[in-house]
Structure 1
Amino acid sequence: MAYLDEFILIALAHFFAVASPGPDFAIILKQSISYGRRNALFASVGVGLGILVHVTYCLLGVALVISQSETLFNWLKYLAAAYLAFMAFQALQSTANKSLDEQSAQVLKAESVRRSFVKGFLTNALNPKATLFFLSLFTLVINPTTPTAVQISYGVYMAIATWVWFSGLSLVLSKHAVRHFFLRSGHWFDRAIGVVLLVLAIRVVWS
């Protein structure tokens, strides 16, 4: 394979990026515990497809524009931070006035899989950390002479690998024993996730 060395570098870089805790992990954790396996798996699909947004603008050359425009990149950061802060605000409003069974039944009905998918997609697509990662990838790792078809295949691989990774996490985190453990202190779990999302929003603004 002519581009095997390049692909291996991309695969390794992507693995460490996707495995590091961040907004994607936080949203999958939230979906798994609060809404169950099905919602978490749809959110994982959204996160995976969000990767294709970054790949697309890199292939179109928009990445170069973003890298040269501090104002444009800052607006992207502020938009992502606002979205994370909004989800944090929702999580921080959680109350403890229901039993475990009532709470579990309510949250499973509280959000459609479509909304979970959109949350996963927007969380990744608006993630400035992902923007910086793909800017670096397409300017420093991928050779400009690499055919567009090969670059697209890299992007498809990363989207699928991301989906597989977070789907695996969804299957583990949505197990009954794990969900029961977290839902026993449901409102505290929601608030903890809210704090995590708020911290991530602040880090996005100040990074």
Structure 2
Amino acid sequence: MFGISNFGLFLVAVLLLNATPGPDTAYIVGRSIAQGRAAGLMSALGISVGCCVHALASAVGLSAILAASATAFMFIKLAGGAYLVYLGLRMLLAKQTAGPAAAGSGDLRSLKTIFLQAMLTNVLNPKVILFFLAFIPQFVRTDAPQKTLAFLLLGVAFAAISMCWNSGTAFLAGTLARRAGRSPRVRLWLERTVGATFVALGAKLALSKT
């Protein structure tokens, strides 16, 4: 239907891919720990929208152009790595605030900011660009009359599954953070750990050869 093949296998593959930790998961966990479930869910939504952006770019051929241009790809890779390092440093350098309502970190952000940062975390990851170019076409029939539509439908399905998975991650991390909220030191330690993970992921992304 719609030129899509092996849709069941596609769903299983997407679930397995979402189960693999990466920058998206780190951001969701970090925001959930810092600000609770609502922030984590908004992070999940931003990342899902980022997946839709990649799907649209793949459908119109923009991702192929970026992948083919060494300069453009390098620029996206460095920008993505620098952005992750920036987010990580913000968490590492955030000062602990007093009081039970703000136990943990003073790095509190609006839901709009969280949404935009989560989306950028996904959009600026060049490995996601390559993933969509290499993964999605495997489930589009070569004789499909509307290949662009097939790309978009698979991208939306990918985003929907990611939203469900990431929402569960946000709920779990938010719940654990709430329990750890009684101990500001524990919560601050969790945030510092996620921040350090962001810095490491950003450096790895920027320095990688692919």
**TM-score under structure 2 length normalisation:** 0.86
Distance 1:7 1:53 in 2: 21
Structure 2 residue aligned with 1:194: 195
Give the letter for the 1:191 counterpart: R
Give the letter for the 2:95 counterpart: T
Structure 2 residue aligned with 1:123: 121
| Cα distance change on mapping 1:2 and 1:41 into 2, 3 Å | closer
Over the aligned positions, Cα root-mean-square deviation in angstroms equals 2.3
Structure 2 residue aligned with 1:69: 69
Structure 2 residue aligned with 1:55: 55
C-alpha contact (below 8 Å) 2:104/2:188 kept by paired residues = no
Distance 2:109 2:63 in 1: 34
Structure 2 residue aligned with 1:44: 44
Distance 1:97 1:32 in 2: 17
C-alpha contact (below 8 Å) 2:4/2:140 kept by paired residues = no
1:14-33 map, 5 Å: 14-33=14-33
1:37-186 map, 5 Å: 37-96=37-96, 98=98, 101-104=100-103, 110-146=108-144, 147=146, 148-175=148-175, 177-181=176-180, 183-186=184-187
Distance 1:186 1:151 in 2: 41
Give the length in aligned residue pairs: 204
Query: What's the CA shift for 1:162?
Result: 0.9
Query: What's the CA shift for 1:77?
Result: 0.4
Segments of 5+ residues of structure 2 without an aligned counterpart are: none
Q: Deviations over 1:18-70 (max 9, x none)?
A: 21110100010011111011111111111111001111111111122122212
Distance 1:120 1:54 in 2: 14
Give the letter for the 1:159 counterpart: A
Residue range with higher mean Cα deviation, 60-69 or 132-141: 132-141
Residue range with higher mean Cα deviation, 21-30 or 117-126: 117-126
Q: Deviations over 1:130-188 (max 9, x none)?
A: 1121011244443443323222211111111111111111112111x543326442332
Q: Which has the higher helix share?
A: 1
> Secondary structure, in 3 states, of the residue corresponding to 2:103?
helix
C-alpha contact (below 8 Å) 1:55/1:152 kept by paired residues = yes
Distance 1:102 1:161 in 2: 33
**TM-score under structure 1 length normalisation:** 0.87
Sequence identity percentage: 27
C-alpha contact (below 8 Å) 1:10/1:137 kept by paired residues = no
Q: Deviations over 1:83-133 (max 9, x none)?
A: 10111111111334635x1533975x9321111111211111111221121
C-alpha contact (below 8 Å) 1:50/1:124 kept by paired residues = yes
Give the letter for the 2:122 counterpart: N
